[in-house]
């Protein structure tokens, strides 16, 4: 099939990456439809009107589509986003976990709601401005690290299904960010020098505590003054366990004459456990809700590089699938601050084997 006979829906945020993704696909001859997704209405924080869901972002995306002479639509996914991504975000913190909402958003919004619209519009593919490479081998679709290791986004994409990957294009995988900005400048895009967003789109000032307090008004009253415990003894009181995360040192308001760190959050008993730095290290954990990409199933334990947070370089480990939903991870060396609720992503070299959600240790 010739590219001119293939229609691709491009997720357009108004930023430089999605704009150049569309331009690159147009250069390859594809028919394009630009879609901007409204996922967050700022009802909780009316003063915040910036980022991927702002009017400015929508206007920027439409402007790029007009320049490329392709149709542009805006779809409102706020109800679905609220009922899945934000609901999960709040529930995880109330369980004492630290969630990664971008991973879930990719699964249920970009490769859920958006993919449904793609098929409704008669398009064959969806494309985004993510930095990742697509591969197909032995009947399986999987992603690999992007050329630009500083911008690689494979960690946040591990939940995307085989069905969705088959219908996906990642035009930026073979480019570095400076190369993308140069292309944008050559095209005359005003987003060429726009700084990258560093915050969660629905969290004001990158402070999730504000969202918790707005959505759960009596949170402070219910959970304030719980115990902070060190070596089995109460040494202070906390402000509410959802305000803490594994590895945290600052803001504990306790004086032991040495630094201590949050090592465990006991939501059931409203307790925050702290320990010395060496108490943050563990060698193994179980990942739940797994999704495998490169292999359909792991028939035996294998060596892998495992990342436990977005900026983690990854560490060597043995991974073993223990049932359809769980993988056991044993690191070669103790790993610091393994955090329940975060994603664990498994790599075979630069290829994503799959991933899961870190369970309570």
Kindly report, residue by residue over 123-161, the tens digit of the pLDDT.
Answer: 999 999 999 999 999 999 999 999 999 999 999 999 999
Q: Identify the band that residue 221 occupies on the pLDDT scale cut at 50, 70 and 90.
A: confident
Mean pLDDT in residue range 91-115: 95
Of 1-10, 97-106, 175-184, 266-275, give the lowest mean pLDDT range.
Answer: 1-10
- Can you give the CATH number for the domain in which 158 is found? 3.40.50.620
Structural domain contains residue 167:
yes
Structural domain contains residue 217:
no
Q: Are residues 242 and 130 in the same domain?
A: no
Q: Are residues 197 and 251 in the same domain?
A: no
Q: Are residues 50 and 157 in the same domain?
A: yes
Structural domain contains residue 212:
no
Q: Is 200 helix (H, G, I), strand (E, B) or coil?
A: coil
Q: Using CA atoms, how far apart are residues 318 and 301, in angstroms rounded to an integer?
A: 6
Q: Identify the band that residue 164 occupies on the pLDDT scale cut at 50, 70 and 90.
A: very high
Q: Identify the band that residue 202 occupies on the pLDDT scale cut at 50, 70 and 90.
A: confident
Structural domain contains residue 252:
yes
Q: Are residues 100 and 146 in the same domain?
A: yes
Judged against a pLDDT cut of 70, whether residue 47 lies above it is answered with: no
Q: Identify the band that residue 46 occupies on the pLDDT scale cut at 50, 70 and 90.
A: very low
Q: Which is more confidently placed, 43 or 244?
A: 244
Q: Are residues 17 and 160 in the same domain?
A: yes
Q: Using CA atoms, how far apart are residues 306 and 317, in angstroms rounded to an integer?
A: 7
The backbone torsions φ and ψ at residue 97, rounded to the nearest 5 degrees and listed phi first, read: -100, 170
Mean pLDDT in residue range 70-78: 95
Q: Using CA atoms, how far apart are residues 266 and 341, in angstroms rounded to an integer?
A: 14
Per-residue CA distances from 219 to 200, 212, 239, 298 (Å): 21, 8, 10, 42
Q: Are residues 11 and 114 in the same domain?
A: yes
Q: Domain range holding 239?
A: 223-275
Domain boundary among 256, 275, 294: 275
Q: Using CA atoms, how far apart are residues 347 and 283, in angstroms rounded to an integer?
A: 18
What does the pLDDT read at residue 198?
A: 62
Per-residue CA distances from 297 to 23, 68, 119, 157, 163 (Å): 37, 43, 29, 18, 16
* Average pLDDT of the chain, as a whole number: 92
How many domains does one find in the chain? Answer: 3
Domain boundary among 258, 275, 292: 275
Q: Are residues 233 and 131 in the same domain?
A: no
Mean pLDDT in residue range 105-120: 95
Q: Kindly list the catalytic residues.
A: 105, 201
Q: Are residues 151 and 17 in the same domain?
A: yes
What does the pLDDT read at residue 50?
A: 46
Q: Are 267 and 320 in contact (CB under 8 A)?
A: no
What does the pLDDT read at residue 140?
A: 98
Q: Are residues 158 and 233 in the same domain?
A: no
What does the pLDDT read at residue 44?
A: 54
Domain boundary among 179, 205, 231: 205
Structural domain contains residue 297:
yes
Task: Please write the tens of the pLDDT for every residue from 294-330.
Answer: 999 999 999 999 999 999 999 999 999 999 999 999 9
What does the pLDDT read at residue 244?
A: 95
Q: Among candidates 339, 315, 309, which has minimal Cα distance to 247? A: 339
Q: Are residues 263 and 284 in the same domain?
A: no
Q: Using CA atoms, how far apart are residues 170 and 20, in angstroms rounded to an integer?
A: 11
- Mark residue 167 as left, alpha or beta (left: phi above 0; alpha: psi -120 to 50; beta: remaining): alpha
Task: Please write the tens of the pLDDT for every residue from 254-269.
Answer: 989 999 999 999 999 9
- Can you give the CATH number for the domain in which 261 is found? 2.30.30.280
Of 13-17, 110-114, 198-202, give the lowest mean pLDDT range.
Answer: 198-202
Of 14-28, 41-55, 215-229, 253-267, give the lowest mean pLDDT range.
Answer: 41-55
Q: Identify the band that residue 41 occupies on the pLDDT scale cut at 50, 70 and 90.
A: low
Q: Among candidates 44, 28, 37, which has minimal Cα distance to 209? A: 44
* Residue partners of 205: CB distance under 8 A and separation at least 6: 199
What does the pLDDT read at residue 118?
A: 95
Q: Are residues 255 and 313 in the same domain?
A: no
Q: Using CA atoms, how far apart are residues 149 and 132, in angstroms rounded to an integer?
A: 10
Q: Are residues 122 and 178 in the same domain?
A: yes
Share of the chain above pLDDT 90, in %: 79
- If one counts every other C-beta atom within 10 angstroms of the C-beta of residue 56, the result is 12
- If one counts every other C-beta atom within 10 angstroms of the C-beta of residue 119, the result is 12
């Amino acid at each position: 099939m010739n590219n001119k006979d293939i229609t691709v829906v491009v997720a357009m945020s108004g930023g430089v990456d999605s704009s150049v993704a569309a331009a690159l696909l147009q250069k390859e001859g594809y028919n394009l439809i630009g879609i901007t997704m409204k996922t967050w209405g700022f009802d909780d924080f009316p003063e915040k009107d910036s980022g991927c869901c702002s009017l400015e972002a929508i206007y920027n995306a439409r402007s790029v589509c007009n320049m490329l002479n392709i149709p542009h639509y805006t779809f409102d996914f706020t109800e679905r986003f609220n009922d899945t991504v934000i609901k999960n975000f709040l529930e995880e913190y109330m369980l004492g976990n630290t969630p990664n909402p971008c991973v879930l958003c990719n699964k249920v919004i970009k490769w859920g709601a958006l993919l449904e619209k793609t098929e409704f519009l008669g398009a064959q593919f969806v494309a985004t401005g993510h930095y990742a490479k697509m591969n197909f081998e032995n009947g399986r679709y999987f992603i690999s690290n992007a050329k630009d290791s500083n911008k690689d986004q494979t960690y946040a994409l591990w939940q995307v299904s085989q069905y969705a990957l088959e219908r996906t294009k990642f035009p930026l995988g073979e480019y570095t960010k400076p190369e993308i900005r140069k292309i944008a400048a050559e095209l005359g895009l005003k987003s060429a020098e726009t700084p990258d967003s560093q915050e969660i789109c629905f969290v004001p000032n990158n402070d999730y505590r504000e969202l918790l307090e707005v959505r759960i008004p009596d949170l402070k009253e219910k959970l304030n003054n719980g115990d902070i415990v060190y070596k089995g003894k109460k040494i202070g009181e906390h402000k509410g366990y959802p305000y803490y995360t594994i590895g945290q040192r600052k803001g504990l308001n306790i004086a032991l004459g040495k630094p201590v760190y949050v090592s465990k959050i006991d939501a059931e008993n409203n307790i925050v456990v702290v320990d010395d730095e060496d108490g943050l290290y563990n060698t193994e954990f179980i990942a739940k809700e797994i999704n495998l990409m490169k292999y359909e199933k792991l028939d035996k334990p294998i060596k892998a590089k495992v990342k436990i947070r977005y900026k983690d370089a990854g560490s060597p480990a043995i991974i073993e699938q223990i049932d359809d939903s769980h993988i056991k991870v044993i690191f070669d060396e103790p790993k610091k601050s393994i955090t329940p609720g975060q994603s664990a992503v498994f790599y075979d070299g630069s290829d994503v084997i799959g991933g899961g959600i870190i369970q309570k240790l």
